[in-house]
Amino acid sequence: MDFDWDTEQQGFRSTVRAFLAAHLPADWEELAHGPGSEAQSAFSKKFCAELAKAGLLVPHWPQRWGGRDADPWTAFILAEEMWAAGEPRGGQYMNVNWIGPTLMRFGSEEQQQRYIPAMAHGETIWCQGFSEPEAGSDLASLRTRAEKHGDSYRINGQKIWTSYAGHADTCFLLARTSPGRNGISIFLLPMTTPGITVRQIPSVIGEGDIHEVFFDEVEAPASAMLGGEGQGWEVVRTALSLERVGIPRFALAARMLSRSVARLQGDGRFGHGAIEQAARARAACEAARLYSYNIVDQRCHGIPTGPEASAARFATVMAERLVGEFVVEHMPDALAGGDPLLLAHHQRAIVAGIASGAAEIQLNLIATDLLRLPREPR
């Protein structure tokens, strides 16, 4: 693996930074708090449309879908810069990272034509309807039912913790069409479909972040199913492997650590204990970065993402937590309203080990699939 950026990659990073500098409003860091809020959602839609016009929303997508076939490094540099800035794309990062690519792979021609161009133009928000009150880590136990009636399915059940549901146009919904893991199917469901109710849940991250979504006798045409009946698990495994290392959360952690250290140095408060703790947090950010780069390199070489993705994700959770702990210990004033982006990072670090799959599940996968540790006999 070569860790040097080439001239083109450096140029691309500079272009993204220049775009951010030109398009983020002066109060952006305050807006960054509350990724699903009314104000940030409205801003993100405008921002993503501009990003698309500049060729910076989906450069890694095929030309057919509005991209330029750029390699996975380009997508990752873009994601690093966006996340380090507080993710101004809002919920649209999901379209770019995994929903669009999943539809390209498994969608019918009609589904692709209906949904992908709007994503490429930055015009649409999706939500991910996976978790349920009794199905989080054990996603395969989900109970939302989709029963076939003639040419359509009738959906009943409930999702929970659904990010961006209050502003989403479409839901990428997992529902059960028969028992067992092979009985899970995916529906691409407009959120305006009668029978869908969205209720916001108060969240540490801010207003509009997470929701409950109820499905009461919701009619979905058979054409809304992605892939075949019962193919949901296979599709979701592909999607989650894209999602797991698609968010370079360490980039914001590293930026916030540098900012905190600079402030402490300026105040003459960067003493021995703080130096040691900062060094540990910095090392964790670097570890997360290198684990993630390893996955990107594998993608560039066409190697399917394996259990290393769990290591990358766990390292990223650790980086966020260590930076969060550093800030709590050495500059609690910054969290009491002194620095909105630092506060936003801190709040995201609190949920980092739960959102996108619990950290402990990643540890299980690392133990069994990466380290091949023996299971304790029952």
Ligand X SMILES: Cc1cc2nc3c(=O)[nH]c(=O)nc-3n(C[C@H](O)[C@H](O)[C@H](O)COP(=O)(O)OP(=O)(O)OC[C@H]3O[C@@H](n4cnc5c(N)ncnc54)[C@H](O)[C@@H]3O)c2cc1C
Determine the residue type at 226.
L
Contact 325, 274 (CB under 8 A): no
How many C-beta atoms surround the C-beta of residue 30 within 10 A?
A: 15
Of the candidate residues 44, 162, 260, 347, the single one contacting ligand X (CB under 6 A): 162
- Binding segment for ligand X among 60-68, 220-228, 230-238, 351-359 (CB under 6 A)? 351-359
Query: SS3 for 190?
Result: strand
DSSP assignment string, 306-356: -THHHHHHHHHHHHHHHHHHHHHHH-HHIIIII-HHHHHHHHHHHHTTTTT
Q: How far is CA 335 from the centre of its chain?
A: 24
Name the minimum Å distance from CB 275 to ligand X. 32
Q: Which residue has the tokens 């309807």?
A: 129
For ligand X, give the closer residue by CB, 39 or 204: 204
Q: Please select the residue that binds ligand X; options are 171, 210, 236, 295, rule is CB under 6 A.
A: 210
| Binding piece for ligand X, criterion CB under 6 A, among 60-68, 98-106, 156-164, 184-192 | 156-164
Phi and psi at residue 200, in whole multiples of 5°?
Answer: -75, 145
Piece of 66-74, 121-129, 142-150, 225-233 that binds ligand X (CB under 6 A): 121-129
Binding flag, residue 137, ligand X (CB under 6 A):
yes
Strand, helix or coil at 216? strand
Closer residue to ligand X in complex, CB, 66/88: 88
**Residue among 148, 364, 371, 373 that touches ligand X (CB under 6 A):** 364
Enumerate residues 6+ apart whose C-beta is below 8 A from 253. Answer: 281, 285, 288, 319, 320, 322, 323, 345, 349
Residue placing its CB nearer to ligand X in the complex, 290 or 351: 351
Q: Which stretch binds ligand X (CB under 6 A): 123-131, 147-155, 221-229, 332-340?
A: 123-131
Candidate ranges 58-66, 130-138, 246-254, 326-334; the one touching ligand X (CB under 6 A): 130-138
Residue in 236, 252, 256, 225 with CA at minimum distance from that of residue 339: 256
CA of 272: how far to CAs of 171, 265, 330, in Å?
A: 50, 12, 12
Comparing every residue's Cβ against ligand X, the nearest one is: 136
Smallest separation, CB 129 to ligand X (Å): 6
Report, in Å, the least distance between residue 348 CB and ligand X. 8
Nearer to ligand X, 12 or 98 (CB): 98
141 binds ligand X (CB under 6 A): no
| Whether 169 contacts 191, CB under 8 Å | yes
Cβ closest to ligand X, residue 173 vs residue 274? 173
Closest distance to ligand X from the beta carbon of 131 (Å): 3
Select the residue interacting with ligand X from 54, 140, 198, 354 (CB under 6 A): 354
Given 118, 358, 366, 370, the residue binding ligand X (CB under 6 A):
358
- Contact indicator for 187, 155 with CB cutoff of 8 Å: yes
> Residue numbers of the site for ligand X (CB under 6 A)?
127-131, 136-137, 161-163, 205, 210, 351, 354-355, 357-358, 360-361, 364
